[in-house]
């Protein structure tokens, strides 16, 4: 179906996810990774059940960071033993929830985190396997969002682990069986990405020297993709060979699974699977500027706006006068001047009723937005397979009662 047909059938705003694009992205990324290795899908990018289910069918494990994501992964068909719960602030409630659901694999960020997992596992009568997240001594060069090498809530500093390894080996019910590393995020350049992953391999080898042999090393990700504007998902044709050489040198048992090598990705796997369809509600001039008012805004495409990471949207237009291009500010329907999706955007002259299509929003779209602000009905989420509608759902926000005597 075309975007116009989907908008006519399901209305706007609407998100559209193409599972064929998810499958293609997975195949491309797998071909860029050393073999053997495993791949985690980071649910934070897009927790839609159909997307999770497709990647589980393709063999991905699930990296989750909340009780809600635990439930989403399991409901979509991920096996409990293929789920890893991560995050620097795992509460006892979240750990208990995961253990009750059969999830016994965790990434831990400190001795306190490790003890908490072990204490709760003991109460449940189970043993857990933990990957120790390590924060490198120095940041890796390259673009993207730096995730290590600086003061951080993520992981234990490498120097701390090296100086006091006995604090990180684990307990009877929470054994450290691996490492979790993440050097940077959203890297579009293969050389920068390879350099960061090579640094991660070297760090893993040094940590194993302090902690002893480990079963798994999760090298993280950083595989980039464009966001909310046209552009192709990057390919990394030389990455597998580069990493294979470094793995052979620094972790020579890896080909036999000692340790198992893992990677993780969210954005790269799903970004180009998603479109956002937005309707033009009004076009007006104010003090010499043109404003195009849409039926969705940062409540539906926030790009983690609460973290001041607002997207710069560059949509395609269905309708409008392609020969008459104007500079406009794209705004949403919210009662705040902060509801701005793009300033000085070049678009064909549009009129109310025209359709704008925002590409590359399959990651960090609806669930990374200010969905509850002002209470607008969430967009329909339309899933395609083979060009045809496969699934249509709509998120809802429901307030439930809690006993005044609870807690």
Per-residue pLDDT reduced to its tens digit, 15-27: 999 999 999 999 9
Coil/strand/helix, residue 255: helix
Q: Please check the confidence at residue 363 and state whether its pLDDT lies above 80.
A: yes
Tens digit of pLDDT for each residue in 97-114? 999 999 999 999 999 999
Cα separations (Å) of 366 from 294, 306, 395?
16, 13, 9
pLDDT band of residue 71 (cuts 50, 70, 90) is: very high
Instruction: Please give the CATH architecture assigned to the domain spanning 3-12+272-394.
Output: Beta Barrel (2.40)
Please give the distance of CA 375 from its chain centroid, rounded to a whole number.
25
Question: Tell me: the pLDDT tens digits for 212-232?
Answer: 999 999 999 999 999 999 999
Domain 19-270, architecture per CATH: Alpha-Beta Barrel (3.20)
Going from N- to C-terminal start, the domains of the chain cover 3-12+272-394, 19-270
Cα of 35 vs its chain's centroid, Å = 23
| Residue 307: predicted pLDDT | 43
Give pTM, 2 decimals.
Answer: 0.94
CA angle 97, 98, 101 (to 5 degrees): 90
User: Per-residue pLDDT tens for 160-180?
Assistant: 999 999 999 888 999 999 999
State the average pLDDT for the chain: 93
Confidence band, pLDDT 50/70/90 cuts, at residue 61: very high
Q: For residues 198 and 91, give the distance between their C-alpha atoms in angstroms, rounded to a whole number.
A: 33
**Taking every pair of C-alpha atoms in the chain, what is the biggest distance, in angstroms?**
70
Q: pLDDT tens across 327-361, in order?
A: 999 999 999 988 999 899 999 999 999 999 999 99
In the three-class reduction of DSSP (H, G, I as helix; E, B as strand; rest coil), residue 319 is classed as coil
Question: Is pLDDT of 261 > 70?
Answer: yes
What φ, ψ does residue 203 adopt, rounded to 5°? -65, -40
> In this structure, are residues 149 and 163 in contact, taking their beta carbons and an 8 Å threshold?
no
Predicted confidence band of residue 308 (pLDDT cuts 50, 70, 90): very low
- The Cα–Cα gap between 241 and 107 comes to 28
Q: Which of the four pLDDT bands, split at 50, 70 and 90, describes residue 149?
A: very low
Separation between Cα atoms, residue 206 and residue 291, nearest integer Å: 56
User: Does residue 305 have a pLDDT over 70?
Assistant: no
Output 12 or 146, whichever has higher pLDDT: 12
């Amino acid at each position: 179906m075309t975007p116009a047909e989907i908008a006519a059938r399901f209305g706007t705003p609407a998100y559209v996810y193409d599972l064929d694009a998810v499958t293609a992205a997975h195949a491309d990324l797998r071909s860029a990774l050393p073999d053997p290795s495993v791949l985690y899908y980071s649910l934070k990018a897009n927790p839609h059940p159909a997307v999770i289910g497709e990647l589980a069918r393709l063999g991905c494990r699930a990296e989750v960071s909340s009780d809600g994501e635990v439930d989403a992964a399991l409901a979509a068909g991920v096996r409990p033993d293929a789920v890893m719960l991560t995050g620097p602030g795992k509460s006892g409630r979240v750990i208990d929830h995961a253990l009750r659901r059969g999830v016994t694999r965790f990434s831990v960020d400190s001795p306190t985190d490790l003890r908490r997992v072990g204490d709760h596992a003991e109460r449940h009568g189970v043993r857990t396997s933990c990957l120790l997240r390590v924060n490198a001594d120095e940041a890796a060069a390259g673009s993207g969002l730096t995730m290590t090498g600086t003061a951080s809530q993520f992981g234990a500093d490498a120097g701390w682990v090296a100086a006091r390894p006995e604090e990180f080996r684990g307990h009877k019910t929470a054994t450290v069986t691996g490492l979790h590393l993440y050097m940077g995020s959203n890297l579009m350049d293969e050389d920068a990405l390879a350099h960061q992953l090579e640094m991660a391999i070297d760090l893993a080898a040094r940590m194993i020297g302090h902690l002893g042999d480990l079963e798994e090393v999760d090298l993280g990700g950083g595989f980039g993709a464009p966001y909310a504007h046209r552009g192709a998902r990057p390919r990394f044709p030389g990455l597998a060979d580069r990493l294979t050489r470094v793995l052979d040198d620094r972790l020579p048992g890896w080909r036999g699974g000692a340790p198992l090598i893992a990677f993780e990705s969210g954005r790269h796997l799903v970004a180009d699977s998603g479109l956002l369809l937005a309707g033009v509600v009004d076009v007006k001039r104010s003090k010499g500027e043109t404003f195009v008012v849409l039926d969705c805004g940062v409540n539906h495409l926030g790009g983690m706006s609460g973290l001041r990471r607002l997207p710069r949207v560059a949509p395609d237009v269905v309708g409008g006068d392609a020969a008459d291009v104007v500079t406009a500010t794209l705004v949403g329907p919210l009662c705040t001047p902060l509801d701005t999706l793009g300033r000085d955007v070049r678009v064909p002259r549009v009129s109310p009723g025209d359709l704008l299509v925002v590409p590359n929003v399959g990651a960090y779209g609806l669930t990374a937005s200010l969905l509850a602000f002002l209470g607008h009905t969430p967009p329909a989420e339309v899933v395609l397979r083979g060009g045809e509608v496969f699934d249509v759902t709509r998120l809802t926000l429901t307030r439930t009662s809690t006993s005044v005597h609870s807690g």
